[in-house]
Amino acid sequence: MTTSTTTHQSLPERVEELLASGGPLPIVTAGEPVLRTVAEPYDGQLDDALLERFVRALRDTMLAAPGVGLAAPQVGVPLSIAVVEDAAPGAPESLRARGRVPLPFRVLVNPSYEPEGDARAAFFEGCLSVPGWQAVVARHARVRLRGQDEHGRTVDEVFTGWPARIVQHETDHLRGTLYLDVARTRSLSSNEAVAEYWSQPTPEAAARVLGFELP
């Protein structure tokens, strides 16, 4: 039997402890229970100053990783908060195929989404909590995202293209869902294999060779 004082920490204490290191936060990986837990709705558990510092640390951690999104449970904090930002680097042909356009930094608080229309888009994606791997996920091409921002203002916005993929991936984290749960598992590829074989703008060749269905 093991005991830990951290079990009895309040959320603000837990966050203060994480921030005390001053650097990027450690990202937890698949198998950690917090990644399979429905995050608590954010309702002022952190005061404004602590929330601001936490959000800044989430952003620093995401950029350092580097990644285009990070949810609070990925740093061990079970609150419904995520950050997203994508400068959309890459080859023009790939960017065009993915609808990958720059997504300015933003904070998603208590987000939820619903599809707008039936269109789906399938591409390889990865997750900072499943390092080294990527898989094809067929996601809604267009979603309506509702929730709040970090100042408590209402968000109700439609996302398309790659930004739609990012907000779905991060919102799923807050429900305890990992992208592997909704991926074409036969597409699972190491980063090395993706670089070697599957860097085409679309995953059609991968679907043919690895044997999985595209929408």
| Catalytic annotation, residues | 170
User: Among 42-50, 76-84, 104-112, 125-133, which window interacts with Zn ion (CB under 5 A)?
Assistant: 125-133
How many chain residues interact with Zn ion (CB under 5 A)?
1
Taking the complex as a whole, the smallest distance from the CB of residue 35 to Zn ion amounts, in Å, to 9
Q: Of these, 46, 109, 127, 136, which contacts Zn ion (CB under 5 A)?
A: 127
Taking the complex as a whole, the smallest distance from the CB of residue 4 to Zn ion amounts, in Å, to 25
Whose Cβ is closer to Zn ion: residue 127's or residue 174's? 127
Name the residue whose CB lies closest to Zn ion: 127
Three-class DSSP labels, the chain: CCCCHHHHCCHHHHHHHHHCCCCCCCCCCCCCHHHHCCCECCCCCCCHHHHHHHHHHHHHHHHHCCCCEEEHHHHCCCECEEEEEECCCCCHHHHHHHCCCCEEEEEEEEEEEEECCCCEEEEEEECCCCCCEEEEEEEECEEEEEEECCCCCEEEEEEEHHHHHHHHHHHHHCCCCCHHHHEEEEEEEEHHHHHHHCCCCCCHHHHHHHCCCCC
Whose Cβ is closer to Zn ion: residue 16's or residue 32's? 32
User: Among 81-89, 124-132, 136-144, 187-195, which window interacts with Zn ion (CB under 5 A)?
Assistant: 124-132
Site mask, Zn ion, residues 162-181, x = CB under 5 A?
--------------------
Taking the complex as a whole, the smallest distance from the CB of residue 119 to Zn ion amounts, in Å, to 23
By CB under 5 A, the residues from 84 to 123 that bind Zn ion are none
Binding site for Zn ion (CB under 5 A): 127
